[in-house]
Amino acid sequence: MAQKPPHNFTVLLLRKKVHTKRVPIAKSIEEFCRNNPDKTPLILVDLMHIDQIQFGDRNETRYRNVCGPNLGQVESFESVFRFLQSRQCRLVFFVDGPDNRDLHEAQFSEYRTCRKDERYGRDMALIDALLERDGDYREGLKGFRHIPTDRILFDSIVSTAKKFGDVVHALENSRLMEMARYVVDHPETLAVLGKSSSVLLTADSRQLKLWYLPELNAEAMMVTELDSGKVWDEMGLQSKEKRLLMVALLPGSYVGSHAASEDVRKTHAVVKKLPEIAGEEQYKDVVRKLFARTDTTWEQLKLACELYDVNQITPSEQKVEHQTSFAYDITHNRTSIITVMLNDYRYWTERSVDFYQLFVRFYRRLAGVVLKRSGAPTEDPTQRRIFIKRSHEDKFKHELVDVEFPDFDFEREGKDDSVTETTLACLKFILDFEDMTAIRAFADEDNNRWKLLDYVTVQFMIKEQMISETLAATIMTAVATCSSETPKLVSRLDLDAFHATFMYVRWRYYVREALVNAGFPQTCVDDMCRLDGSRLQLLVQQGGSDAGQNAPA
């Protein structure tokens, strides 16, 4: 399962050392402030790759990530943000909107499969490797290059970022386009802290720098820096047309498929030889050289280039701050994309847990509450669409879900921090609880409110026979002790606790949607995941619990 490094424009630039230099971040900021005394340096941060920051021992980070949420890694991200803020920088963070690249089924073929199916396959290969080695994760991880923490702890990462600056959601454009447009509208931008050098070509700013995330050392605060002006000059891409052509032709950018898709050097050589101003003949020449075996036309290529023109990019309208992702999809009649991360359908099916059926019931009721709160008519049959994996054997596909509306009236909202009868009734309806007495009592205790999301999550998992009450209590203990010292690593994973951890992470996200849309105040909804996977593994194994004791019934 070893993966090749991405063959993209960034890799090409990094290999040509003339374009890069290793710099102390503080020195780069000081130089900017000296040259621009009337400006506050602005740093744009690509949160989707933030987990690639170097901090501590890389192998230990990977070992902790495979245990589940790695709270120590989130603290390392926060230390970088705090450092930048201490240097008087303004920070703006960029995240993807819904990942809808897989929604167009007509594009799939024997050559292109759904990315989510590919990810699920990689996840299952990792789980199989752990199973074959009886939980020995040090051996099981060999051949797996990266455990993507951003998929495990995305809400926690965004919640941390919000303490240091604004978060921009790329809802109508790609993240690259949003950042490029932001640079044009904010000339005080010093650097993009990210991974894609394409923004250096798209943003149309000679002063912009890329601080390459995978080579940022969070302890020394050193980073590899690419300077857009030098890149333009030394790569022969001074003209805007050439830069846009290069971006449009990069693998993963242009929708078409051409002979040079895996050879960025060849693509660059073709573009570099073009005259400064590219016209019809130049586009046709590129098509002849790179698209000889396809039906791509020069008009299609030109249109692809124009998509990356910052003057044509309109910034995405941002969603309401307290509107959840599912609520946004439901109210705008958009497809909700249901991702899974290390959730093994095989394991749960053996324990009579049907993730698909549980989620569909949850979503149809959540949609009913969201639409009723918005004032939508509830008399007529209503449907919403989800993109989901039904079983281990099935691929991700579209499903229409019948919305189920609650049959009770909504009372007036109470005070901002109050939990009303309607709030409790909505949560009971969405999560199909029979009795709310324990949850009501938990929510009424002010010192418990920060743990309410975790408590409701484990109560739901107990109800659906995903975990035992013993394991639920252990999870809550791990949550309550999250701020103490970094736990030591266990020698082997308890695989039942491993599966429960990743299912907990998934349902914690869904339960958050339920709490917010039921009307619970913000004090009851802690976006930060407080469960550390390695701490839970340690507590489970210290408690003398064997795998069978804590497994679902």
Asked whether residue 317 is domain-assigned, the answer is no
Strand segments, DSSP code E, in 284-419 are: 336-337, 383-389, 396-402
151/421 Cα distance (integer angstroms): 35
Is the predicted pLDDT of residue 551 greater than 70, yes or no?
Answer: no
Residues 519 and 483 in one domain: yes
Place of tokens 């339960």: 511
Work out how many domains the chain is built from and give that number.
3
Contact criterion met (CB below 8 Å) for 346 and 393: no
Rounded alpha-carbon distances, angstroms, from residue 228 to 181, 205, 231, 378, 436: 15, 7, 5, 54, 58
Residues 449 and 416 in one domain: yes
The burial of 18, by beta-carbon neighbours within 10 Å (0-12 exposed, 13-18 middle, 19 or more buried), is given as exposed
Structure confidence at residue 188 as a pLDDT band (50, 70, 90) = very high
User: Would you give the DSSP letter of residue 337?
Assistant: E
Contact criterion met (CB below 8 Å) for 52 and 46: no
The structure tokens listed for 9 are: 């424009």
Asked whether residue 129 is domain-assigned, the answer is yes
The structure tokens listed for 168 are: 């921009």
Last residue of a domain, one of 258, 283, 312: 312
Residues 303 and 179 in one domain: no
CB burial readout 440-478, b (16+ within 10 A) else e: eebbeeeeebebbbbbbbbbbbbebebbbeebbebbbeb
333-356 confidence digits (pLDDT tens): 989 989 888 899 999 999 999 999
Instruction: Give the residue with greater pLDDT, 382 vs 320.
Output: 382
Q: What is the pLDDT, as a whole number, of residue 528? A: 87
Asked whether residue 542 is domain-assigned, the answer is yes
1-37 confidence digits (pLDDT tens): 333 444 578 878 887 877 889 999 999 999 999 999 9
159 φ, ψ to 5°?
A: -60, -40
Asked whether residue 2 is domain-assigned, the answer is no
Instruction: Give the residue with greater pLDDT, 186 vs 443.
Output: 186
CB burial readout 492-507, b (16+ within 10 A) else e: bbbbbbbbbbbbbbbb
Residues 465 and 358 in one domain: yes
Residues 458 and 545 in one domain: yes
Instruction: Give the residue with greater pLDDT, 264 vs 551.
Output: 264
Is the predicted pLDDT of residue 183 greater than 90, yes or no?
Answer: yes
The structure tokens listed for 475 are: 């999870």
Q: What is the pLDDT, as a whole number, of residue 283? A: 86
Residues 91 and 220 in one domain: yes
Q: What CATH number does residue 46 fall under?
A: 3.40.50.1010
Structure confidence at residue 99 as a pLDDT band (50, 70, 90) = low
437/415 Cα distance (integer angstroms): 21
Q: What is the pLDDT, as a whole number, of residue 257? A: 54
235-253 confidence digits (pLDDT tens): 999 999 999 988 888 765 5
Asked whether residue 397 is domain-assigned, the answer is yes
Residues 344 and 362 in one domain: yes
Contact criterion met (CB below 8 Å) for 206 and 228: yes
Rounded alpha-carbon distances, angstroms, from residue 113 to 60, 120, 395, 511: 33, 12, 10, 30
Asked whether residue 3 is domain-assigned, the answer is no
Q: What is the pLDDT, as a whole number, of residue 548? A: 39
Residues 350 and 282 in one domain: no
Q: What is the pLDDT, as a whole number, of residue 360? A: 98
Residues 447 and 335 in one domain: yes
Asked whether residue 320 is domain-assigned, the answer is no
Residues 68 and 85 in one domain: yes
420 φ, ψ to 5°?
A: -90, 170
* C-alpha of 533 from chain center: 19
Residues 499 and 423 in one domain: yes
Contact criterion met (CB below 8 Å) for 36 and 89: no
171/232 Cα distance (integer angstroms): 29
Helix-helix angle 71-86:154-162, to 10 degrees: 20
Residues 53 and 122 in one domain: yes
402 φ, ψ to 5°?
A: -75, 125
Last residue of a domain, one of 278, 312, 346: 312
502-547 confidence digits (pLDDT tens): 999 999 999 999 999 999 998 889 888 999 999 999 999 998 444 3
Structural domain range at position 39: 9-231
DSSP 224-285: EEEEHHHHHHHTT--SHHHHHHHHHHSTTTSSS--TTTT-HHHHHHHHHTS-SS--HHHHHH
Asked whether residue 413 is domain-assigned, the answer is yes
Last residue of a domain, one of 197, 231, 265: 231
N- to C-terminal Cα distance for the chain?
33
Rounded alpha-carbon distances, angstroms, from residue 351 to 141, 334, 347, 354, 521: 26, 33, 7, 9, 35
